[in-house]
Amino acid sequence: MSSPFLSDALVRPRRRVAAVLTCAALATSVALGGLVAAAPAHAADAVTSSGIVLGVGADESQRIVTWYTSADTAQSVQLAPTSQLVNGEFPASATLFSATGAANIATSGGFNRHATVSGLKENTAYSYRVGSADGGWSKAYAFKTQTFDGDYDFLFFGDPQIGSSGDAVKDGAGWADTLNVATAANPNAELLVSGGDQVETANTESQWDQFLAPDQLRQVPWAATIGNHDVGGKAYDQHFSTPNTDRSAAYYKGGTAGTGTESGGDYWYIYKDTLFIDLNSNSYVSNNANGSGGDAAHIAYVTDVIQKHQAEAKYTVLVYHHSIYSAADHAKDADNKIRRVDFPTTFSKLGVDLVLQGHDHVYTRSYEIKNGIKANPAEQPNQNEVFPGPGGVIYVTANSASGSKYYDITTPDNSGTSGAGNGPDALNPKNYWYNSVQNQEHVRNYTKVSVQKDQLVVQTMRSGTCDAPNAAVERGNVKWCGPDNGASAAQGVGSIVDSVTIHKAHGNGQDIQVTVPDAAPGEFGWTIDGRNGLVDLGTASTDVNSDFFAAKGAINPIAVNDSRRALSPWSISASVGDFRDGTKTFSGKYLGWTPKVVQAGAGAVAGAPIKSGYDGGDGLSVARNLAAAAQGHERGTAKLGADLDLKIPGSTGKGSYRATLTITALSS
């Protein structure tokens, strides 16, 4: 039989390459800051810019900048490395990125513009401004890129919904404070990801002013998500331009008619080996005559994007507004229950790792869900480590990031404990069957996701207490505050609501999974000896006298068991495919090995060493013998290993590369 080992190789700039290998895979791896007056060339020609947002681009080398402007004129984003500015003045070599846009709707006034900034370099601080030389430039803002490979953090925010409390200014203060707390605690966070509902009323620009006021939205890329309170007008689309967006009628709540009056569309992007897919979950009426595609359209979209682009990433994260595994006022909504049947099986089949949601103004974290049921009956409530198997998905619902509105946790019913059911958890009957964690304290939250080479660490922190700014509490919209329905004192800012490590044991990440046969008694079989974990080859290196990168490591041991009476010969061999990172690649022939018998038994004899193809030959790109036993060998168990030798040309492009090592067992 054969079994795949995934492998990643991280290639850094010239003379540095990181390479990792797992046993199942090879891996080498608050003024209104948004409202600013342009600096006019001539007072009579002054043009004002407002609502500037630094948005996520198609990948880590892009950003999309959007803004409002008072004049329908040709405008651009001007960009330069911050180190090249002198006394705040942009150099003559600054790059201009032309903007496009249109007139805003009447209630917004003015015009909208957006421009894609591309060709960014890693580990670089940039400054930018918007406008034109004739009409004047906005204030300058700054952002920094980090390495385009490796671990990173992003922050997830649920439902600011500015204006929801009845006081947009108080809501804005809570939102600004959450961003201050979150970015101060995580100064190297690389994305700010939205759970939807930026504002309470779609086209009310005074609410948008409060939402866009924090300067973090001009410093760290914002990945917008459309909520049910954003969808009813065009202001959301005017304020945010997103990459790779499909604006077909199927992805609008109102279908064909909605494209002219609503905001909508599904989009995707890849950031540092994570494929993000963002859905307009307001389109949920299947087969609607008005052209709204609903769940079927979203499933088709997600399937298409994953089939085309998942190979370019190691994790897949979905983001949409309407939580399907929440615990408060919306837990039993009809559309929620329908989606709980429509979505999970597809997400499991496609290898989704994490789903981020909002809408219910409560924090929840699901158990590992596979095909709409709890995948592991033994998983405990509040378990802080999970090891999802193939198809296992974790769903997170974010609480309010602004304090504008909270919903209290509701009680499970007897409608069932799978699929659309809202029955109780057998291990914790106060919770819904699908949730490992449920929390409502009426305090502001945000979630930090650490994307690591072999795991996702998801931590939800308190960004506020019962004290101001917390508009829903201040205004008496909720009657208690704090843990245990207010019976316990509120915990401090930065304290942890929930933390879970999601180990990626299969498939797309640098964690590697191998499929092995069941070895029946008196049969021949093999398996990985111990946990199928990640083996790090370290940082590949070279020197001034070499023209190649090199890294070394070892596969995790393979246990071979042979209890057959016939004592028939057997062999274990392996080959590796090409290493790939998106469109970049290098041949598997550059990987060599030295097999060894770690623990003698079953007549095992190690195969011959195979040198890296860099030194000549085909390396492991063709099947090579790991170990074998002759006819008449003794019965028993052997443990096999191999030291790995990777040598690749010095011209190899920087990147995080992955290959598949296929293990084949033969016996007569």
User: Which three-class secondary structure string do you get for 314-373?
Assistant: CEEEEEEEECCCCCCCCCCCHHHHHHHHHCHHHHHHCCCCEEEEECCCCEEEECCEECCE
**Over 80: is that where the pLDDT of 505 sits?**
no
Residue 373, classified by CB atoms within 10 Å of its CB into exposed (0-12), middle (13-18) or buried (19+), is middle
Judge if 521 and 557 occupy the same domain.
yes
Judge if 307 and 448 occupy the same domain.
yes
**Over 90: is that where the pLDDT of 579 sits?**
no
The alpha carbon torsion through 277, 281, 283, 286 (nearest 10 deg) reads: 90
**Over 80: is that where the pLDDT of 125 sits?**
yes
CB 635 within 8 A of CB 519: no
Contacting residues for 23 by C-beta, under 8 A, at least 6 apart: 5, 512, 514, 528, 530, 532, 533, 535, 555, 556, 557
- State mean pLDDT over 536-548: 76
Segments forming the whole domain that contains residue 565: 2-29+516-667
Instruction: Establish if 126 belongs to a structural domain.
Output: no
Q: Where are the beta strands (DSSP E) in 463-533?
A: 496-503, 524-528
Residue 349 φ then ψ, to 5°: -60, -35
Judge if 439 and 536 occupy the same domain.
no
Instruction: Establish if 333 belongs to a structural domain.
Output: yes
Q: Which residue has the higher pLDDT, 554 or 198?
A: 198
Residue 88, classified by CB atoms within 10 Å of its CB into exposed (0-12), middle (13-18) or buried (19+), is exposed
Q: Which residue has the higher pLDDT, 552 or 215?
A: 215
| Per-residue CA distances from 586 to 73, 647, 650 (Å) | 48, 11, 11
Judge if 456 and 496 occupy the same domain.
yes
Where b means 16+ CB within 10 Å and e means fewer, 105-131 reads beebebbbbbbbbeebeeeeebbbbbb
- State mean pLDDT over 572-596: 90
Which of 1-10, 343-352, 386-395, 416-425 is the least confident region?
1-10
Domain boundary among 503, 529, 559: 503
CB 540 within 8 A of CB 19: yes
pLDDT tens for 65-105 read: 999 999 999 999 999 999 999 999 999 999 999 999 999 99
**Over 80: is that where the pLDDT of 228 sits?**
yes
Which of 225-234, 303-312, 401-410, 508-517 is the least confident region?
508-517
Judge if 590 and 449 occupy the same domain.
no
Identify the band that residue 165 occupies on the pLDDT scale cut at 50, 70 and 90: very high
Which of 98-107, 132-141, 506-515 is the least confident region?
506-515
Identify the band that residue 230 occupies on the pLDDT scale cut at 50, 70 and 90: very high
Instruction: Establish if 20 belongs to a structural domain.
Output: yes
What pLDDT, on a 0 to 100 scale, did the predictor assign at position 658? Answer: 79
Residue 650 φ then ψ, to 5°: -65, -15
**Over 70: is that where the pLDDT of 501 sits?**
yes
Instruction: Establish if 119 belongs to a structural domain.
Output: no
CB 222 within 8 A of CB 215: no
Question: How many whole angstroms separate alpha carbon 401 and alpha carbon 133?
Answer: 38
What pLDDT, on a 0 to 100 scale, did the predictor assign at position 205? Answer: 98
Judge if 371 and 470 occupy the same domain.
yes
Instruction: Establish if 78 belongs to a structural domain.
Output: no
- Find out whether the peptide bond into 483 is cis, omega within 30 degrees of 0: no
- State mean pLDDT over 278-298: 79
Q: Which residue has the higher pLDDT, 293 or 561?
A: 561
What pLDDT, on a 0 to 100 scale, did the predictor assign at position 331? Answer: 97
What pLDDT, on a 0 to 100 scale, did the predictor assign at position 28? Answer: 41
% of the chain beyond a pLDDT of 70:
88
Judge if 461 and 558 occupy the same domain.
no
CB 572 within 8 A of CB 584: no
Identify the band that residue 288 occupies on the pLDDT scale cut at 50, 70 and 90: low
**Over 70: is that where the pLDDT of 59 sits?**
yes
Residue type, 555: I
Domain boundary among 453, 482, 503: 503
Judge if 444 and 379 occupy the same domain.
yes
Question: How many whole angstroms separate alpha carbon 94 and alpha carbon 114?
Answer: 18
CB 604 within 8 A of CB 557: no
Count: domains in the chain? 2
What pLDDT, on a 0 to 100 scale, did the predictor assign at position 533? Answer: 63
% of the chain beyond a pLDDT of 90:
74
What pLDDT, on a 0 to 100 scale, did the predictor assign at position 285? Answer: 65
pLDDT tens for 358-389 read: 999 999 999 999 999 999 999 999 999 999 98
C-alpha distance across the termini of the chain, in Å: 12
**Over 70: is that where the pLDDT of 648 sits?**
yes
What pLDDT, on a 0 to 100 scale, did the predictor assign at position 581? Answer: 82
Judge if 407 and 522 occupy the same domain.
no
Contacting residues for 117 by C-beta, under 8 A, at least 6 apart: 57, 62, 63, 64, 65, 77, 79, 97, 128
Domain boundary among 478, 503, 528: 503
What pLDDT, on a 0 to 100 scale, did the predictor assign at position 187? Answer: 98
Report which of 664, 668, 390, 662 is spatially closest to residue 526, judged by C-alpha positions. Answer: 664
Average pLDDT value for the chain: 89
Percent helix, strand and coil across the chain, each rounded to 5? 15, 35, 50
Judge if 426 and 461 occupy the same domain.
yes
What pLDDT, on a 0 to 100 scale, did the predictor assign at position 286? Answer: 53
Judge if 477 and 432 occupy the same domain.
yes
Question: How many whole angstroms separate alpha carbon 35 and alpha carbon 130?
Answer: 12
Can you give the length of the chain in residues?
Answer: 668
pLDDT tens for 251-275 read: 999 888 788 899 999 999 999 999 9
Judge if 526 and 476 occupy the same domain.
no
CATH of the domain at 399: 3.30.750.180
Instruction: Establish if 647 belongs to a structural domain.
Output: yes
Tokens of 78: 């001007």
Instruction: Establish if 587 belongs to a structural domain.
Output: yes
Please state the pTM of the whole predicted model.
Answer: 0.80
| Per-residue CA distances from 593 to 8, 68, 91, 587, 666 (Å) | 17, 59, 53, 15, 20
**Over 90: is that where the pLDDT of 538 sits?**
no
Instruction: Establish if 66 belongs to a structural domain.
Output: no
